[in-house]
Amino acid sequence: MSKKILLLCIFCNTIATYAQQNATDSIPALKPDSLKFNYKALIIPGALIGYGVIGLESDWLKGFNSEIKEEVNEDIDKKITIDDFTQYAPFASVYGLNALGIKGKHNFKDRSIIMGTSYLLMSGTVLSLKGITKVERPDGSSNNSFPSGHTATAFAGAEFLWQEYKDVSIWYGITGYAIATGTGLFRIYNDRHWLTDVAAGAGIGILSTKVAYWLHPFIKKTFFGEKETKSTVMMAPFYNGKQLGAGFVMNF
């Protein structure tokens, strides 16, 4: 493995590890609906998004992006599209663990509201920026490279998994962030995104879920009411290879 590819792996894994460590410091263990705004929680996603935004105009960062692309194309022949599936793994894990009887912080209704809010914030931000920036993908297939939607989805899910299960075991959150980091690496590996796209996507994903938790008490009270009902609501993301979207299900 070349030095540049090794540097890229170290860089991306450092992002995930640093994010996880700081999450522990900036967001204490709290009861459901008591997660309050903390400006320190904005530092990591803000830095990642800032790196990506600066990379839109910085010749040095663009040059670094190109060097990574050249190294990837030189050292890797076969593409692996596992990232089309791993992007959803952290989100799905929350529901899977609950189905196995390992309870998270919120019940089905509340976590579905949080997930839906996070996904709407994330996808809206990603799709808007893609339309505004019109950055060409490394493989030249289209002009919607910035930011990485796959990476944003994966990191939004990783933060969701972390928030729901950090009080059960930190290893659930660490695993989610590891999968999200791998998703970002595969986007570069498959010549679909630049490093700056992946960094910005990671920041947007983390921030979207944090904001979703901060907004949850207001959204629950305003749109769903305080009284518990027998209805259940679920919103699940999907990606068909070309389009990013979400499925909505309600049972009465």
How many helices (H) and strands (E) would you count in the chain?
Answer: 9, 2
Q: Could you tell me the residue range of the domain that residue 173 belongs to? A: 3-251
Per-residue pLDDT band at 38 (split at 50, 70, 90): confident
* Structure-token match 């518990």, residue found: 228
Nearest alpha carbon to residue 15 among 165, 235, 206: 206
Dump pLDDT digits (tens) for 158-182. 999 999 999 999 999 999 999 999 9
Q: Please report the DSSP string for 91-160 in residue order.
A: HHHHHHHHHTT---SS-HHHHHHHHHHHHHHHHHHHHHHHHHH-PPPTTSS-S--SS-HHHHHHHHHHHH
* Separation CA 197–CA 214 (nearest Å): 26
Instruction: Dig out the tokens for 2 from the structure.
Output: 């070349």
- Reported as half-sphere exposure (CB side, CA atoms, 13 A), residue 87 has a value of 26
Q: Which of 56-65, 197-206, 212-221, 242-251 has the lowest mean pLDDT?
A: 242-251
Greater model confidence, 251 or 193: 193
* Separation CA 190–CA 192 (nearest Å): 5
Provide the domain count of the chain: 1
Quote the percentage of the chain above a pLDDT of 90.
66
Mean pLDDT of 80-92: 94
